[in-house]
Copies of this chain bind each other. A is one copy, B any other.
């Protein structure tokens, strides 16, 4: 019979995020507004859709294990070399591979308390020891992260910029300074999933010669292709090459490869989506304001609305929204969990939110 190894035996059974489909099955009805997973409700480029529809007839072929065309296109788009780009099954997949390559039982890894749970899942999964640094005023606390990395001789430190779940953003100068101060034997992961949402995209220039940092990006957010599972990272060519020792070489969906290629080529769609994200964030802020709630300034495609009381209260707001057909999420830990996290969306979704939120607050107060 099967005998799990010790590491796996001691891992908890994991449910990362309960998917909206699960919640829909529980409530026996689809959501009216899907504003909980920071997807792009505005959708992908029409050209990407058409490319995927065309490619569907070729799905009998495995995808190119080298992701050659997409790496070439990204290299050109980003001004780096294709040997400095690795593509994987979403940032989630890449975080898994990277963790596997660096972490072994006992390896110290630094992240923020309440930051992306899937990264923590991978670290724990490979036996790493997490050091969780509290947020400071809704921002990831870069000083404290670096200090913890140094103090604990960590091998990895994780920073999302813009942050998820709060949406806060550190300017390029702050990040550049942080990169300079990464401890000698530590790698800084900058998760830039929401990069394209940043109004002026004021992030440090890509510099794959720098072995201290890996930058991760995705087609799941502004590109509107979460379901396709295409993430990528820009890093030193030696680190990129190392992914080839562990990754699932034939792991990429062929249709997704073609879709990403077409999506990248349609930057007009990205510009339009960026405008729509900005508009929708303003609407969410106004809706919050008209309910006497504060919001956190967001550089991402969602807004954290502070419900003004503790996490239990925010949970009740979320549950009422869910009953009314509005799917949103909330941070997992205090004090961030005073907030609910609302993804931007078209005006129709904003109208639903506008109508549902007052009742949700009323329900929560009852």
CA distance A263 to B36 in the complex (A): 30
- The stretch of A86-94, A136-144, A165-173, A330-338 that contacts the partner chain: A86-94
Give a binary string over A1-39; 1 marks a CB under 8 Å from any B CB, 0 the rest: 111111110011111110111100100000000100101
- Verify B66–A43 contact, CB threshold 8 A: no
Give a binary string over A242-256; 1 marks a CB under 8 Å from any B CB, 0 the rest: 101110111111111
* Residues of the B chain whose Cβ atoms lie less than 8 Å from the Cβ of A60: 39-44, 224-227
Name the interface size band of chain A: 35 or more
CA distance A15 to B220 in the complex (A): 28
Using known A-B contacts A8-B100, A68-B25, A259-B59, determine if residue A211 contacts B1 with beta carbons closer than 8 Å.
yes
Looking at the complex, which one of B13, B226, B249 makes contact with A59 (CB distance below 8 Å)? B226
Looking at the complex, which one of B25, B48, B64, B102 makes contact with A5 (CB distance below 8 Å)? B102
Using known A-B contacts A89-B89, A100-B8, A102-B3, determine if residue A63 contacts B227 with beta carbons closer than 8 Å.
yes
Looking at the complex, which one of B7, B8, B253 makes contact with A227 (CB distance below 8 Å)? B253
Give a binary string over A98-123; 1 marks a CB under 8 Å from any B CB, 0 the rest: 00111110010000000000100000
Q: Nearest chain-B residue to A246 (Cβ)?
A: B125
Distance between A225 CB and nearest chain B CB, rounded to angstroms: 5
CA distance A225 to B11 in the complex (A): 33
Looking at the complex, which one of B44, B59, B186, B226 makes contact with A52 (CB distance below 8 Å)? B59
- Verify A14–B249 contact, CB threshold 8 A: yes
- Verify A16–B250 contact, CB threshold 8 A: yes
- Verify A4–B248 contact, CB threshold 8 A: no
* Residues of the B chain whose Cβ atoms lie less than 8 Å from the Cβ of A16: 65, 249-250
- Verify A92–B250 contact, CB threshold 8 A: yes
Does A184 belong to the interface (CB within 8 Å)? yes
Does A322 belong to the interface (CB within 8 Å)? no
Distance between A294 CB and nearest chain B CB, rounded to angstroms: 29
- Verify B56–A34 contact, CB threshold 8 A: no
Q: Nearest chain-B residue to A254 (Cβ)?
A: B227
CA distance A186 to B3 in the complex (A): 7
Does A187 belong to the interface (CB within 8 Å)? yes
Q: Nearest chain-B residue to A235 (Cβ)?
A: B2
* Residues of the B chain whose Cβ atoms lie less than 8 Å from the Cβ of A259: 56, 59
A residues neighboring B (CB under 8 Å): 1-8, 11-17, 19-22, 25, 34, 37, 39-44, 48-49, 52-53, 55-66, 68, 89-90, 92-93, 96, 100-104, 107, 118, 125, 155, 184-187, 211-212, 214, 220, 224-229, 235-236, 239, 241-242, 244-246, 248-256, 259
Task: Identify the 6 closest CB pairs spanning chains A and B, nearest first.
Answer: A227-B254, A1-B211, A2-B187, A21-B64, A253-B253, A11-B245
Can you list 27 A-B contacts with CB-CB less than 8 angstroms, sorted by A residue number? A1-B185, A2-B239, A3-B185, A4-B102, A5-B103, A7-B104, A8-B102, A13-B241, A16-B65, A19-B62, A19-B64, A20-B61, A21-B64, A39-B62, A41-B60, A42-B60, A43-B60, A44-B60, A55-B227, A58-B227, A59-B225, A59-B227, A62-B220, A62-B226, A93-B251, A229-B251, A229-B252
- Known pairs A7-B104, A15-B249, A92-B250; list 16 more (Cβ under 8 Å): A1-B187, A2-B239, A14-B245, A15-B244, A19-B66, A39-B61, A56-B56, A60-B224, A60-B226, A61-B227, A118-B250, A227-B253, A227-B255, A229-B252, A253-B253, A255-B256
